[in-house]
Amino acid sequence: MTSRTITPTMTPGTWIMLVVLSVLWGGSFFFVEVLITTWSPLTVVTLRVGLAALVLWAVVIATGRPVPSDRHTWLAFFGMGLLNNVIPFSLIAWGQTEIASGLAAILNATTPLFTVVVAGILLKDEQATPLKVAGVLIGFAGVAVMVGPAALAGLGGAVLAQCAVLTAALTYAFAGVFGRRFRDMGVDPVVTAAGQVTGSTVVLLPFLLTTGDVAALTQAGTAIWLSMLGLAVLSTAIAYILYFRVLAAAGATNITLVTFLIPVSAGLLGIGFLGERLELEQAAGMILIGIGLSAIDGRLWALRRRG
């Protein structure tokens, strides 16, 4: 698999997009936790990508972006939809019916570990280095510390659900590598995001119509639909525009660092807007995540070696 060389060291603008993405995706765990109390995982995932597709195509049409019509590009959209939406969304939504969102977040944070290996094998310009591997391990430890030992209480049970979330993390790793091709193909990130969720919707909709509980849609209250809109618009449509911009600029390994930033963003939002206190384990976790991210970025460590 080949691709034009990316810039593995992220610019300040790319870091800002990654932080915003972590806030948007951090909310998805909350939204899913609310939605699965009323709807099946299949219903949640199908509505998530279907509504996001409508929003994104509205943006594409309103801004006059060119829409690809060739078969090769649309097959790539379907492939990306399977790897980045259908498989991981379904596995995580089902997994959260058996395990808590905190444990799901920790297991999801293994995505960079898988990506370092997958990208190192398949991409010439994203080879694994000792510093990068160490940074990923430190970052993962930071997530575990920050979420806290209470989230690990259920680690011994619901093995299938935990394996489902880990498989989703592995699928995300392959999606990051696969998604590198859209920059080479010259496809706009907004159009790529729209094509991806459209492909996902086409795959999932027949299953929902034949096996899903469509009647449950009419029985949902306002809070459920507001959660779904939040999941579809914020955590999917807008999030994937940022995702493909960061992926095109900084590569597969760097885009997965968002899984380290998600608990940090959630913690800081709780402190800033909900009056929560900064606990010792949260502070320690944030420091470890910061060290891990700096090691993966590499610039500070390179300056230290030169110094």
Specify the pLDDT at position 41: 86
What tens digit of pLDDT does each residue of 175-232 get? 999 998 998 899 999 999 999 999 999 999 998 888 777 777 888 888 899 999 999 9
> pLDDT exceeding 70 applies to what percent of the chain?
87
Crossing angle of the two packed helices 258-273 and 130-147, in degrees rounded to 10: 30
d(CA 288, CA 306): 23
Question: Cα-Cα-Cα-Cα dihedral of 251, 255, 260, 266, to 10°?
Answer: 160
Q: Which long-range contacts (CB under 8 A, 24 or more apart) does 215-223 make?
A: 216/38, 216/39, 216/40, 216/43, 217/39, 217/43, 217/47, 219/38, 220/38, 220/39, 223/34
Specify the pLDDT at position 2: 41
User: Mean pLDDT of all residues in the chain?
Assistant: 84
User: Quick one: pLDDT band at residue 1, thresholds 50, 70, 90?
Assistant: very low
Specify the pLDDT at position 172: 93
- Per the confidence metrics, is the pTM higher than 0.75? yes
Residue 116 has pLDDT above 90, yes or no: no
What would the two tokens of residue 96 be? 């959260």
Q: How far is C-alpha 24 from the chain's CA centre?
A: 9
User: Quick one: pLDDT band at residue 258, thresholds 50, 70, 90?
Assistant: confident
Distance spanning both ends of the chain, measured CA to CA = 37
What tens digit of pLDDT does each residue of 11-47 get? 888 889 999 998 898 778 778 878 888 888 888 889 9
Specify the pLDDT at position 7: 59
User: Quick one: pLDDT band at residue 155, thresholds 50, 70, 90?
Assistant: low
Average pLDDT over residues 67-72: 93
Output 273 or 247, whichever has higher pLDDT: 247
Average pLDDT over residues 123-146: 83
Average pLDDT over residues 124-130: 79
